[in-house]
A and B are shown apart, each in its own frame.
Chain A
C-alpha cells in the first residue's frame, strides 16, 4: 500500500492519464447499463407494476398476448391462485381531439383493459370511456380532461389521470375499464366479457388444454425483441469490461517491465515477491477505484441531465455487479505483472 500509493502520488501525470482512461470506459459501461436497464424497464414497467407471479393466455395466441382472447369460462378454469385479475391488452394510436391539428398529436399507446378494484388496476375508479395514462403523455402536452380519439375509430376517451412508469414495449399505457377496452378491441358492443389474459398472484394451475400458464419472467422474455436486446447490451457491457481490464493490465505490465531494475534492487535487498506483487495489485486496485468512481459520478450527472429524454434508469444491483467485475478483471489483468515480478532475478542489481 505504502509503495503503491507513494508512486501514484509521485507520478501523478502518468497515472492520471490511466485513471482517465479507466474512468471513460467505466462511464461508458455504467451509462450503457443505465440505458439498457432503462430500455428494458420501458418494456416491462407496466408488467412489473402488477407484482404478479404468473399469467395465463390462450395456447392459440402462440405467446403473443395481442392475439389471445379469453372468456369467463377460461377464467373459471384457473384454480389455486391467491389473486386473479383479467386484463385486456391491445395497441392503439391516440390523438388529441381538441388540438389545432390532431394529427400532430398522434401517439402510440397500449390500451390496458382492467376491472376496477382488481389488483392490477390504478387507484382511481374508471367509468366508461375514462382513461388513466402514463405521465410521459403529460410531458407531450396531454392534460387531464383532454378528449382523445382512437385513430381509425370513432371512439373517444377522456383522460382522468396520470400514473408514472406505466409503459409497455416502450410505449405509454392507457388504462381503461374492460368494457371500454372491449369496445375498442372488437369494435362492437359484446354482451359477454372477453379479455386477453389473466394475471395471477401466487401459484395457480389450469384445467383445460386451450390455455397456457407462463411465469411473469417467461412472459417478459417472450416480448418481441426483449431478450435479444438484453442479450446485445449484456454482451457489449461484458466485452467493455474485459477490454478495459485488458488495457489496464497491459499498462500495468508495461510499467512493471520498466521498473524491472528497481524491482531487482528491491529483491536484492530482500524485499519479498509478496510485497512487491502486492504493491502492483494494490496500484491496480487504486487506479480501478478512482476510474470507476469518476465513471459512476459522470453517469449519475448524465442521468440527471438526460432525465426524460431517453430511457435511463439506475439500478444499484447492476452497478454493484459491474463494479465488482471491474475490480475482479483488473486484478486478473495485474496477475501478468505479478508473474513478471516473480521472474525478476535479483542478480541484475549487481554488476
Chain B
C-alpha cells in the first residue's frame, strides 16, 4: 500500500510564560491508500496540534511531514498553502462552506481559482453518492447539519486530493446522522483510494475506522 501522508519524528513545543509546553512529543505516523484513521483524545491533548502540523497550517519544531512522498512541512507558508490547495481536502467542525455560494459553486470555486472548467461529471457522481444532488442550487444556510457535512465531504473530495483531513466532522450531528456521515466517509475513502484522517472526541465512531490512535498529553499511541 502506498503511504499518502507521513510524519517522521515530529515534535512541537510552545513557549508559554517562559515555560516550554510539549504539545506533541516525538510522533511517527503514516496513512495509506484506503485508510480511514481516527485520532481520539480529550481536549487539550494535542489533537489540534497534530492536525495543524499534518495539514501544514504550522511548522513542527522537529521532524518532517511528507505528502505523496514530498517534503511538506519545511516549505514556506505560501508553498504549503499551494500544496494544501492541491493535495488536501479539509472537512471542518462547523462547516467549511462559504455562506454566499450555492452548493455547486462551493465545488466550482476550486475551478475558478485554478482557471479550469468545472468537472461536472465528478460533481454529479459525488452528489449522487452523497445524496446531495437536489441541493446544488441551495445556499448552506438552507441546509440541515447533516446535509452540510455531506456537502463538506463532497467539497473535500471534489478536487481529487490525496488526503482528507477531518476535524470533528460530526460535532454538530446527532448519533444517527454522525454514523451516517462517517460511513459515507469510510466508503468514499476506500472507493477513491484516499487516506482520511479524522480527529474526533466521539469514540463510538472508531468502529468504522481502520486504525485508531489516541493522543494524551502530546503522546500518540495506536489503539486499533
Contact = CB atoms under 8 A, between A and B. Distances in A.
Interface of A: 2-3, 6-7, 9-11, 262, 265-273, 275, 345-347, 349-351
A233 B86 CA distance: 54
Given A268-B57, A272-B82, A262 B99 contact: yes
Given A265-B92, A267-B81, A271-B113, A350 B51 contact: yes
Nearest to B161: A270
Contacts of B47: 351
Contacts of A347: 52, 57-58
A351 B105 CA distance: 26
Contacts of B92: 265, 268, 349-350
B90 interface: yes
Nearest to A265: B96
Contact of B90 (A2, A7, A269, A351): A269
A347 to B, nearest CB: 5
Given A10-B139, A275-B113, A350-B167, A269 B52 contact: no
A58 B105 CA distance: 76
B46 to A, nearest CB: 11
B78 A272 contact: yes
B83 interface: yes
Interface of B: 47-48, 51-52, 55, 57-58, 78, 81-86, 88, 90, 92-93, 96, 98-101, 105, 109, 112-113, 139, 167-168
B159 to A, nearest CB: 9
A265 B55 CA distance: 12
Contacts of B99: 10, 262
B98 A262 contact: yes
Contacts of B93: 350-351
Contacts of B58: 347
Counting chain A CB atoms within 10 Å of each CB, which of B82, B100, B101 scores highest? B100
Contact of A269 (B78, B85, B167, B168): B85
A4 to B, nearest CB: 10
A350 B57 contact: yes
B105 to A, nearest CB: 6
B85 A270 contact: yes
Contact of A268 (B48, B55, B98, B112): B55
A7 B98 CA distance: 9
Nearest to A348: B57
29 contacts: A3-B98, A3-B112, A6-B101, A9-B100, A10-B139, A11-B100, A265-B92, A268-B55, A268-B57, A268-B84, A268-B90, A268-B96, A269-B84, A269-B88, A270-B82, A270-B83, A270-B84, A270-B86, A272-B82, A272-B85, A273-B81, A349-B57, A349-B90, A349-B96, A350-B52, A350-B92, A351-B48, A351-B93, A351-B168
Contacts of B57: 268, 345-347, 349-350
A271 B81 CA distance: 7
Contact of B88 (A7, A270, A273): A270
B4 to A, nearest CB: 16
A266 to B, nearest CB: 7
Contacts of B167: 349-351
Q: Which 6 A-B pairs have the closest CB atoms?
A: A270-B85, A270-B84, A10-B100, A351-B48, A2-B112, A7-B100
A152 B16 CA distance: 93
Nearest to B87: A270
A2 B48 contact: no
Given A11-B100, A270-B86, A351-B167, 17 more contacts: A9-B100, A10-B139, A266-B98, A267-B81, A268-B55, A268-B57, A268-B96, A270-B81, A270-B83, A270-B84, A275-B113, A345-B57, A347-B57, A347-B58, A350-B167, A351-B48, A351-B93
A350 B167 CA distance: 7
A272 B81 contact: yes
A272 B110 CA distance: 11
Given A10-B100, A268-B90, A272-B85, A3 B78 contact: no
Contacts of A269: 84-85, 88, 90, 96
A11 B86 CA distance: 30
Contacts of A11: 100
Contacts of B112: 2-3
Contacts of A345: 57
B137 to A, nearest CB: 13
Given A268-B92, A347-B52, A6 B105 contact: yes
Contacts of B51: 350-351
Nearest to B47: A351
A157 B174 CA distance: 98
A10 to B, nearest CB: 3
Contacts of B82: 270, 272
A350 B48 contact: yes
Contacts of B55: 268, 350
Contacts of A7: 100
A3 B58 CA distance: 26
Nearest to A10: B100
